[in-house]
A and B are shown apart, each in its own frame.
Chain A
Amino acid sequence: MNAKVSSIDRLWDFTLPCELEQSQAWVLSAMQKQGPALVRLLWRILGCEQDVCDAYQETFLKLAHYDFGAKPEKIKAYLFKTATNTAISILRRKALHNKLIQNIAVNNRSVSQELPDFDHQDTCKKLRKAVTKLPDHLRDVVVLRDFGEMNYRKVAKILNITEATARVYRCKAVQLLAVWLDDEKTK
């Protein structure tokens, strides 16, 4: 009896890698299919190659460990949502870090350099910072629509909302961003 059990165990050990390979092969196909769009989206949100690689890695790691290795029902939606959230949390962490450095610099009375009237990099930085402050539902639409260059139908499908709602959310988000960018300038 014992011999029979041990032989079944050995058989199980032998088949396990094969099964895993088969069960998780969809991760690689998802990487192949959605990879370019994801990298483009992450690049536009983060603007830094190393951060893009980190966020991309974390996204696929989460996908591979989703529900003990099970395949999500909507892989594309899962990937884009996870990537957006990961990228936004990286941006927030960076903003905090920058704030800390600025505080240290102020305490040490370092001389600040004056910026020109319209600085491209500064505007992009401000916009990225403002996007992190948006409420989740508005932020997701702006990120997918503007950074991911998706049409409203795709955005609606990923976020599980209607097209009209996506349009309204995007409009509200742009209005909020405009107000915040203007406020920052007046400050």
Chain B
Amino acid sequence: MKSDKIKNCKTVRDRLRKMLLKSFQLHDSRLYEHILNCPKCQSRIIPLGKVDNALNIIKSGRHSKNLLAKANQQAIGVLQNSLRNNPATIKLENIEPKPSLRTILTRYNQKIASTAACLVVFLLIKTHIFNSIQDFQSSGNRIVNNYYQRQLGSDLANELGKS
């Protein structure tokens, strides 16, 4: 019971945090203006930015393609004889790093998004949602037309309907 309560509190806190983050976006111009004019904030944020930059530089550095194979060869060299003679080691000694599926898919992000959008439109057509929207619109027009006919007469109502 107690754990449930804590779990609920956690979810509430999480949602509150997300709501606050949404309402207080970092791209807020007021925030930028304040930082531009406040030396105290600048002195706190600039070093953090430097750490972030350095981390990004380190992340963007690429090693040579055969480093994994080289490291595997060196590591296998100190393992037991029985392991060194294992057929699996040949594969490990010639292995090359492959990008993850996520990295490969990022190239095709836009294509995937547009295909998904097409599929959604197709599904909407299939489920007759567009037809019901049209029905709703035409019945709305009819009601408005009736109202004008009752209030202004058929001649004026027809003119208004045409315009």
Q: What is A's interface to B at a CB cutoff of 8 Å?
A: 17-18, 20-21, 24-25, 27-29, 31-32, 35-36, 39-40, 42-44, 47, 49, 52-54, 56-57, 59-61, 64, 120, 123-124, 126-128, 146-147, 149, 174-175, 177-179, 181-182
Residue among B79, B81, B91 having the largest count of chain A Cβ atoms under 10 Å: B79
- How would you classify the secondary structure of chain A's contact residues: helix, strand, loop or mixed? helix
A17 to B85, CA, bound (A): 11
Interface size on B, residues (CB 8 A): 38
- Counting CB contacts under 8 A, is B48 at the interface? yes
Please give me the 4 A-B residue pairs with the lowest Cβ-Cβ distance, nearest first: A178-B47, A21-B82, A56-B71, A127-B54
Total inter-chain residue pairs, C-beta < 8 Å: 125
Please tell me if the beta carbons of A174 and B48 are within 8 angstroms of each other in the complex: yes
- Counting CB contacts under 8 A, is B106 at the interface? no
How close is B26's CB to chain A, nearest CB, in angstroms?
Answer: 16
- Counting CB contacts under 8 A, is B64 at the interface? yes
Please tell me if the beta carbons of A31 and B75 are within 8 angstroms of each other in the complex: yes
- How would you classify the secondary structure of chain B's contact residues: helix, strand, loop or mixed? helix
Please tell me if the beta carbons of B74 and A27 are within 8 angstroms of each other in the complex: no
Q: What is B's interface to A at a CB cutoff of 8 Å?
A: 46-48, 50-55, 57-59, 61, 63-64, 67-68, 70-72, 74-83, 86, 88-89, 91-92, 95, 97-98
Please tell me if the beta carbons of B58 and A44 are within 8 angstroms of each other in the complex: yes
How close is B92's CB to chain A, nearest CB, in angstroms?
Answer: 6
A39 to B63, CA, bound (A): 9
A31 to B71, CA, bound (A): 10
**Known contacts A56-B74, A124-B54, A181-B50: A49-B59 contact under CB 8 Å:** no
Please tell me if the beta carbons of B51 and A53 are within 8 angstroms of each other in the complex: no
Please tell me if the beta carbons of B88 and A35 are within 8 angstroms of each other in the complex: no
**Known contacts A44-B58, A44-B59, A124-B57: A28-B92 contact under CB 8 Å:** yes
How close is B115's CB to chain A, nearest CB, in angstroms?
Answer: 27
Please tell me if the beta carbons of B51 and A127 are within 8 angstroms of each other in the complex: yes
A146 to B56, CA, bound (A): 9
How close is B76's CB to chain A, nearest CB, in angstroms?
Answer: 8
Q: Which of B50, B51, B53, B92 contacts A31 (CB 8 A)?
A: B92
Closest residue of chain A to B49 (Cβ to Cβ) is A178
Please tell me if the beta carbons of A57 and B83 are within 8 angstroms of each other in the complex: no
A40 to B97, CA, bound (A): 10
A75 to B83, CA, bound (A): 18
Please tell me if the beta carbons of B51 and A32 are within 8 angstroms of each other in the complex: no
Give every chain B residue within 8 A of A126 (Cβ-Cβ): 54
Please tell me if the beta carbons of B74 and A28 are within 8 angstroms of each other in the complex: no
**Known contacts A43-B61, A146-B59: A181-B82 contact under CB 8 Å:** no
How close is B130's CB to chain A, nearest CB, in angstroms?
Answer: 40
Give every chain A residue within 8 A of B57 (Cβ-Cβ): 120, 123-124
Give every chain B residue within 8 A of A35 (Cβ-Cβ): 68, 71-72, 92, 95
Q: Could you list 13 A-B pairs, sorted by A, with CB under 8 Å?
A: A17-B82, A18-B82, A20-B80, A20-B82, A21-B86, A24-B79, A28-B92, A32-B91, A43-B63, A44-B59, A49-B63, A61-B79, A182-B50
